[in-house]
Amino acid sequence: MMAGLLFTGTDTGVGKTFVTAAVARTLRQQGRPVRVCKPVATGAAWREGRWLSDDTRLLAEAAGVVGEWDRVTPWSFPDAVAPPVAARRQGKTLTLEEVVEAVRAREQADGVLLVEGIGGFLCPLTERETVADLAVALQWPLVVVARRSLGTLNHTLLTLEAAQARHLRVAGVVVNETLPPGGLADETNVEELKQRMTVPLLAVIPYQAGPAAAALPSVAAVDWWRLAKTNP
């Protein structure tokens, strides 16, 4: 079975796509076979005769599969709301079994699959399940992406607690600067996190004015291949 990493977040807009894409670029530059999947995306725009989200486009570009939109994201919806609500508004219903099957369909022998969730860890995914339930079904290591801002400590520690309560393996945390750093909270929260959490701090990504065109040094320094391939 193919190895994989599930990228989740402490909230929406923390940079999950940005980080997942950077990891995909890093693995490709290392000559590693890698695929990407964001099974459900909301807030999509009508492009090329389909609903297509910016997240899907960025992930596909990073993995070198531009045009394979439906493979990267099987379900895309226009409304920027939780997936079950967005699906319902289009007359559709998502099930966890279908989502897991779509993710598994992206597997390839001897490679790594990078899966990006949607919203935060407990964001509703189907009518009954959340992203956390997808993580339980996949049983892949989690990479938790957090923004560097006031509230980072609480949001990150709560996410880790929720993951650990489900006996999920957390590969580590990536702190992403979604805005230029400023203020005492930004100066101190990374060190405070390191003292309080029991999983590795994998990387701190400095603020980027736009999508990175190449792998980021802090991301490239992490052995993502080993993290995905290491069994519990």
Please compute the mean of the pLDDT values over residues 189-198 and round it to a whole number.
Answer: 94
Give pLDDT, residue 84. Answer: 98
**C-alpha dist (Å) from residue 205 to 47, 111, 138, 167, 173:** 31, 25, 27, 27, 11
- pLDDT (tens digit per residue) in 45-63: 999 899 999 999 999 999 9
Q: Which amino acid is at 44?
A: A
User: What would the pLDDT profile of 3-39 be if each residue is shown by its tens digit?
Assistant: 999 999 999 999 999 999 999 999 999 999 999 999 9
- Domains (range + CATH), the chain: 3-229 (3.40.50.300)
Catalytic-residue membership of 229: no
The mean predicted confidence, pLDDT, of the chain is: 93
Q: 205 near 216, Cβ under 8 Å? A: yes
Residue of 38, 92, 194, 229 with catalytic role: 38
The pLDDT assigned to 205 comes to: 93
d(CA 39, CA 61): 16
| pTM, rounded to two decimals | 0.94
The band of 181, judged by pLDDT with boundaries at 50, 70 and 90, is confident
